[in-house]
Structure 1
Amino acid sequence: MAKRRIFDRLPVVHQLRQSVGLQRGMLVSGLVLTAMFLILAIFAPWIAPYGYSQLRGPDGLFGSQVPPNPVNLLGTTVGGYDVLSRAIWGAQTALLVIIVAILLSVFVGIFIGLLSGYLGGWVDRLLVVVADAIYAFPTLLLAIVAAIAISGGQSGLWPGVMAAAISITVVFIPQYFRVVRSEVVRVKAEAFIESAKVIGASTPRILFRHVLRNVTRTLPLIVTLNASEAIATLAALGFLGFGIEPTAAAEWGYDLNKSIEDVSAGIWWTAIPPGVAIVLTILGITLIGESLNDLADPRLRARRRAGKTQTPADAVAATQPASREFMGEVE
């Protein structure tokens, strides 16, 4: 029985057991699409028939804008690259950018959010003004400026990944900062924080041992939503010509940019695969984020548990376990 309880408390399993009906369908669909994206990204060297910059097959050069055939299942691009291979390798580039961007955003955003919310005073006012100024900037424009400043617009794989990730990080940090700061302002007024101060606990210990664990509950929801936004921003940078060189890595936005003239000439196979990959990946991650957001609402959980035949008294009783669980986490 103990093993079953541990298994049921796993994040994905726990959310799946909570969800019902359409909500469960959305969550399962998002998990399937995201799992496909992760599998393609991790196992791209073994799944892709050719390399992302490979121009030659066993029978010689692929050729430019060749329609789908047994050698190139989805045809070739104007540059002579295999479309299917670049679509698969593009998942790996997107995953690298997501990981680096999210990690940087989370660590920096949480750190300055903790300092701002807990210390207050002029530090809080200064950080809030800076964050609001960055947040007021158009997201894509800020990412373009950051990409140009970091790498000059185009570069190799890791320099390009870092440039795209850092430019996305600049946009995401204010979001994590705002969420963490507001939670810290709420939590630092709780009795257990005052007790820690009375017994002489240091500020770093209070911040990272007592405050941090109580202000990061909603971050997984933001991470999933920001991951989809990171893919869209990376694709936009590549589409506008500020992405990674095609000989250094495959990038969906860059391939879409090079397929514009093909579409007008009736060549459809160069644009559809990267476009579909972007749409399905963003859709999968967004479905997970929206489902987790709904499942985190105690009122919606109570409504699903009680069903259509619940009475008002049952609805109130159904919300009580969630409230007790929340209070237990804070304590």
Structure 2
Amino acid sequence: MSLATPAKPALWKRLPVVHQLRQSVGLQRGMLIVGLVITGIFIFVAIFAPLLAPYGYSTLRDEDGIFGAQQPPGGKHLLGTTVGGYDVLSRVLWGAQTALSVIVVAVLLSIFVGVLLGLISGYLGGWLDRVIIVIADAVYAFPTLLLAIVAAIAISGGQSSLWGGVFAAAVSITVVFIPQYLRVIRAETVRIKAEAYVESAMVIGSGTGRIMFRHVLRNATRTLPLIFTLNSSEAILTLAGLGFLGFGIEPTSAAEWGYDLNKSISDVTSGIWWTSVFPGLAIVLVVLGITLVGESLNDLADPRLRTKRRADGGPSTTAETTVVPGGSLDDVPSIEALEGRV
């Protein structure tokens, strides 16, 4: 008596986002698709901003002369001009590039430092664990935006260059995010180090470093994509908050949506709406798109919130029991199919 092993799905079907998209149904799928579309447009605009923007982010004139301040939408300026005389459309498109740069630098730094500290804290334990947790709790207790402001002032030192401003904003956001990654990885590490395969590795004489980075790390980082998406939207808001309060990047160095909103406050009371609506709308849409992706992935990773598709494609109330990308009850044959193979 033998059972044939079910064939694995194609590699592209087992990719993280593709797997979750195939797994989702109903409202979950709708949220994920909308979030992916908005996020994809944001990334596309950020990458190709130099080609899409009609002018540079600090351009004040063309061959016909100076643009003029607070020009209404239309003509050569589809979204109008700002109080400083910059083209609103160009500033919005170039601002996507600045936002993406800050997200990438901030989240990558947060992941690197937070994962490393969480791994060390959870695996080694003892007094080192207590010291790291106390420091992380102290940092986490501070208001997020206030801590980011203090860090930005200390790091930038009054510099307003593009990469200086991006790096200052990214590091200030990193300081806020590190405790979140640290706690998640530490909790997973404490759980995983009690597993049988880790104890077996200890018995056969594997070194601490090999066990930590080969056996524990790869299993402790499965939830990072969820945290990455949620923290990306928070990074956008923190960057916009810094710019709105005057701690962002100067307009001659880069375009930044929060800074443009700050300069448009006086325009609102004068009936000049275009200088604030479009940068604000860009912030709302990008945060909405990234948040929809994060929340959808979070729902799909929770067996209690995820639904299983029937063989005919319809939804069912039966929850799946696996949360590992690439493994799904959809891949398991039915009882009737198994009995037919005996």
TM-score greater than 0.5 by the shorter chain: yes
Q: Deviations over 1:181-206 (max 9, x none)?
A: 00000001111111111111111100
Q: How does 1:80-95 map to 2 (within 5 A)?
A: 80-95=85-100
Match of 2:241 in 1: 236
- Greater RCO, 1 or 2 (C-alpha within 8 Å, sep 6+): 2
* TM-aligned CA deviation for residue 248 of structure 1: 0.3
Return the letter of the residue paired with 1:305: R
Helix, strand or coil: the match of 2:305? helix
1:219 and 2:224 are equivalent in the alignment = yes
8 Å contact kept, 2:92–2:278: yes
Counterpart of 1:319 in structure 2 is 320
Are residues 1:305 and 2:306 paired? no
2:196 aligned with 1:167, yes or no?
no
The aligned residue for residue 259 of structure 1 is 264
The 1-side partners of 2:26 and 2:321 are apart by 23
Structure 1 residue 309 displacement after superposition: 6.5
Distance change in 2, residues 1:248/1:224 (3 Å): same
* Structure 2: gaps of 5 or more residues: 1-5, 329-342
The runs of at least 4 consecutive aligned structure 1 residues that moved more than 2 Å come to 1-4, 303-310, 318-326
Equivalent position to 2:104, from 99, 109, 119: 99
Assess, with a 3 A threshold, how the Cα gap between structure 1 residues 28 and 325 changes in structure 2: closer, same or farther. Answer: closer
- Return the offset for 1:281: 0.1
Q: Secondary structure at the match of 1:63?
A: coil
Task: Select 2:114's aligned residue among 91, 109, 116.
Answer: 109
Deviation at 1:155, TM superposition (A): 1.2
Paired residue total:
319
Residue of structure 2 in register with 1:291 after alignment = 296
Q: 2:287 aligns with which of 282, 300, 313?
A: 282
Post-superposition CA distance 1:237-270 (Å, at most 9, x none): 0000000010000000000000000111110110
Q: Which AA in structure 1 matches 2:309?
A: R
What CA deviation, in whole Å up to 9, does each residue of 1:53-73 have, x standing for no partner? 000123111001111121111
| Shift in alpha-carbon separation, 1:159–1:308, aligned structure 2, 3 A | closer
- Pairwise CA distance, 1:321: 5.6
Find 2:150's aligned residue among 145, 148, 151. Answer: 145
Shift of 1:19: 0.7
Gaps of 5+ in 1: 327-331
| Distance change in 2, residues 1:213/1:308 (3 Å) | closer
The separation in 1 between residues aligned to 2:322 and 2:153, in whole angstroms, is 51
User: In the TM superposition, what is the alpha-carbon distance from 1:148 to its structure 2 partner?
Assistant: 0.6
SS at match of 1:106: helix
- AA aligned to 2:111 is V
Which of 37, 40, 55 pairs up with 1:35? Answer: 40
Percent identity over the alignment?
Answer: 72
CA contact (8 A) 1:153 1:243 kept: no
Q: Distance in 1 between matches of 2:276 and 2:316?
A: 50
CA distance in structure 1 between the aligned counterparts of 2:278 and 2:316, rounded to whole angstroms: 47
Conserved 8 A contact 1:154-1:245: no
Which stretch shows the higher mean deviation, 10-19 or 149-158? Answer: 149-158
Q: Which residue does 1:329 correspond to in 2?
A: none
Instruction: Report Cα offsets for 1:79-102 as digits up to 9, x if no partner.
Output: 110000000000000000000000
CA gap 1:320/1:165 in 2 versus in 1, 3 angstroms: closer
Question: Contact (CA 8 Å) 1:153, 1:241: kept in 2 or not?
Answer: no
Structure 2 distance, partners of 1:154, 1:282, is: 27
Q: Which moved more, 1:65-74 or 1:275-284?
A: 65-74
TM-score (norm 1): 0.92
Cα distance change of structure 1 residues 309 and 4 upon mapping to structure 2, 3 Å threshold: closer
Letter in 1 for 2:223: T
